[in-house]
Amino acid sequence: MSVEMLHNPRCSKSRQTLAILQENGVEPQIIDYLATPPSKERLQEILDLLGMSPRELMRKGEGIYKESNLADPDLSDDALIQAMLDHPKLIERPIVLANGKARIGRPPESVLEII
């Protein structure tokens, strides 16, 4: 089974999610999405797997969210996706992908549903 994890090692929830996976015998392929952001196509695929809109996947507490007026309801999904590509810290974390499914590790235990 191939498991990928979009991970930020400085995030406590991301570290907790990784630990839960490892405790369950899963060694995911770690993707430091801040250093290596997903492509537009991959981000759209992740959104589809999560069943979420771009706005739902965004970290609304980030300064860049407010500074860029990303709360504007008139912004298109393409504009929001582009903002996440330009500023990957806007992407909620961690995201685990396995078995054709995806989960956000909030709470960290939720990722076990797809393993």
- 50 found inside a domain: no
- 56 found inside a domain: no
- 21 found inside a domain: yes
Size of the chain in residues: 115
| Closest by CA position to 105, among listed 24, 23, 12, 10 | 12
Which residue, chain included where needed, has tokens 């797809």?
114
pLDDT < 50 regions, the chain: none
What's the domain count of the chain? Answer: 1
- Decide if 11 is catalytic: yes
- 45 found inside a domain: no
Peptide bond into 94 cis (omega under 30): yes
CATH number at residue 101: 3.40.30.10
pLDDT of residue 7: 97
pLDDT of residue 69: 97
Question: Which one is catalytic: 3, 11, 52, 75?
Answer: 11
- 98 found inside a domain: yes
Residue 73 dihedral angles phi and psi, to the nearest 5°: -65, -15
Boundaries of domain holding 24: 1-33+93-115
